[in-house]
Amino acid sequence: MEQGSLFFKTIEINGLEIFYREAGDKSKPAILLLHGFPSSSRMYNDLMKNLSDSYYLIAPDYPGFGQSSAPTLKEYTYTFDNLATTINRFIDALGLRKLSLYMQDYGGPVGLRIASQRPELIQALIVQNANAYHEGLGEALAPLAAYILNPSGETEKAARSFLTLEATKWQYTDGAEDDSRINPDSFITDQYYLDRPGNDAIQLALFRNYGSNFQLYEFWHAYFREHEPATLVISGKNDKLFTAAGATAFKKDIKDAQISLLNGGHFVLEEHYLKAASIIKNFLQDKGIK
């Protein structure tokens, strides 16, 4: 596989077409990159190119996101449990036996379900603006919290504000070190997928299900303490959704976790993918994953 090149593929998983990006040599250590809301594997394009000389990288789109199938709510159960089940089957279909797990936003609850169920699979965790601690929940999440606790016409209206272009742009630009480095194509592309007919129902279903993640926090913390996975946190420190307090909290249960906060927001890779790639390479090499 040509160094620095991305390949765009699909694979059938239980009747769904799962789209994924691939880079690097399959003989090298694998990194599985799990995206967040409202994005897709597209968010990893630059990072994958810059890690492809040393690692084999795979980044899938979840059902309902990006280029993957987007079945209706009657055809697919949009819960974090089910997204994790689909990605587990994706991992097995690709024959991955060992991997480092990169998680951003929704990638956290999807990936931590997988890691805690299959600890033997995990070589390292790389956390970027993904949360596993109550102290990491920012005030900007208040409308979603209200919708989770009491789904109603009124709370849904507020939750729907997260599906607008204004909110999508805000997630990219708020907290950025220099918002002139944020490519507008990124949030415009995400909004294109959000605006597809029926996609609002998919996203609202996942909003409502997000509370299931809180119930698993203690289980994940127990996994951290028992298995002490090699862990790197490279979150954007200015994120108002998943805050810096949640990033540093990983050290409560993983004493050797490396916390390397970057000066950016929720989508910090937009500005700092080169710095992130360098930190990741050094971390994994220090852990003997090379």
Angstrom distance (rounded) from CA 172 to CA 246: 19
Cβ neighbours of residue 13 closer than 8 Å, sequence gap 6 or more: 86, 89, 90, 93
Rounded to the nearest 10 degrees, the angle between the axes of helix 107-117 and helix 217-227 is: 50
Out of 35, 134, 227, 266, the active site residue is 266
Question: Is 266 among the residues known to form the active site?
Answer: yes
The catalytic site residues sit at 266
